[in-house]
């Protein structure tokens, strides 16, 4: 090897070493692990106990179903909301833009435990502010943590609250990259504001929106903190158990690393497939 390259790799070595030990190795090792029964000592090659089990485990199907329900409802709702927020934030009529931008972004930087605690308080059956508000407009109190549909809604509300503003800021940057004179040209073309939004803004935002959707899908696939902390470990009775939580329980509660690895790979592959599907749907027409 040329000396210059050797020197370069020398400088890169510390990084490459860490990358190999903490990235490459776990990826490979967990892949190998996913074919092993890890509940016997020593571990033995037995894909039936991991990959095979995935196909017949009702708990896995429950977690998969819950994750998909959350994903299918939460991502479109949140992205729509984020787009509306971005458009409002971009309006020349809006004062104190900086304040709003900060407020929208703030949920992301709030600590996860604090955020979960606040949601548990707000949605408390007896003294939570949400139920009080519902009661005040004549809707009976909802028991958010002990009924599955309500608990699922709560998760969706919480995740949406946390990430909508973040996505709105990304979409806002997309909005601001659309040149003003395109809208002026459309105005002179006698195109109404609503039609401008549908036929100019949305198509031009498409790449950014697809990006946000993909990010959100990956996030929702890995949903863990909210079901863990807000709905109390996937309660009621596994009603809000997600793949992330299921993986955690298998890996850390039952020390079943082989099975946990196969779940992790399934999640990653699903996230990739759904994202690819999305990018294919949102692809630029040739």
| Neighbour tally for 159: CB within 10 Å | 24
DSSP characters over 31-81? HHHTTEETTSSS-EE-GGGTHHHHHH-HHHHHHHHHHHHHHHHHHHHHHHH
User: What are the phi and psi torsion angles at 50 (to 5°)?
Assistant: -115, -80
- Residue 107 vs 207, nearer CB to another protein: 207
End-to-end CA distance of the chain: 44
- Residue 132 vs 199, nearer CB to another protein: 199
CA distance 180 to 273: 37
- Residue 97 vs 195, nearer CB to another protein: 195
In angstroms, give the least distance from the CB of 93 to another protein.
15
- Residue 97 vs 193, nearer CB to another protein: 193
Copy the structure tokens of residue 53. Answer: 């089990």
- Residue 177 vs 255, nearer CB to another protein: 177
- Residue 196 vs 232, nearer CB to another protein: 196
CA dihedral for 216, 220, 221, 224, sign (positive or negative):
positive
Query: In which region does residue 238 sit, left (phi positive, over 0), alpha (psi from -120 to 50) or beta (all else)?
Result: left
In angstroms, give the least distance from the CB of 187 to another protein.
5
DSSP structure class, residue 234: T
In angstroms, give the least distance from the CB of 284 to another protein.
9
Q: Note the residues at the interface with another protein (CB under 8 A).
A: 179, 181-182, 184-192, 195, 199-200, 203-204
Copy the structure tokens of residue 10. Answer: 């020398």
Copy the structure tokens of residue 120. Answer: 């548990």
Cβ neighbours of residue 264 closer than 8 Å, sequence gap 6 or more: 30, 34, 247
- Can you list the alpha helix ranges (DSSP code H) found in the chain? 3-19, 25-33, 51-56, 58-90, 97-109, 112-122, 129-136, 148-176, 180-188, 193-196, 202-221, 225, 243-248, 257-281
- Residue 87 vs 270, nearer CB to another protein: 87
């Amino acid at each position: 090897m040329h000396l210059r390259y050797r020197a370069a790799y020398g400088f890169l070595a510390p990084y490459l070493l860490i990358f190999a030990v903490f990235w490459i190795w776990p990826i490979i090792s967990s892949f190998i692990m996913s074919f092993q029964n890890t509940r016997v000592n020593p571990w033995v090659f037995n894909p039936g106990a991991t990959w095979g089990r995935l196909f017949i485990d009702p708990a896995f199907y429950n977690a998969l179903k819950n994750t998909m329900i959350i994903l299918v409802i939460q991502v479109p709702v949140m992205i729509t909301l984020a787009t509306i927020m971005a458009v409002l934030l971009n309006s020349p009529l809006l004062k104190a833009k900086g304040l709003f931008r900060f407020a929208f972004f703030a949920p992301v930087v709030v600590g996860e435990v604090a955020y979960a605690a606040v949601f548990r308080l707000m949605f408390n059956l007896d003294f939570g502010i949400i139920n009080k508000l519902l009661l005040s407009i004549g809707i009976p109190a909802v028991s958010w943590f002990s009924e599955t549909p309500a608990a699922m809604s709560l998760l969706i509300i919480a995740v949406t609250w946390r990430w909508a503003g973040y996505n709105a800021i990304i979409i806002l940057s997309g909005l601001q990259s659309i040149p003003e004179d395109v809208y002026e040209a459309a105005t002179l073309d006698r195109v109404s504001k609503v039609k401008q939004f549908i036929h100019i803004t949305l198509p031009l935002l498409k790449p950014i929106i697809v990006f946000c959707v993909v990010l959100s899908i990956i996030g929702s696939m890995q949903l863990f903190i909210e079901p863990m902390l807000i709905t109390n470990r996937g309660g009621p009775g596994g009603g809000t158990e997600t793949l992330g939580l299921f993986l955690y329980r298998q890996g850390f509660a039952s020390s079943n690393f082989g099975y946990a690895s196969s779940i992790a790979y399934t999640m990653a592959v699903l996230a990739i497939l759904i994202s690819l599907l999305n990018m294919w749907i949102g692809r630029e027409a040739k």
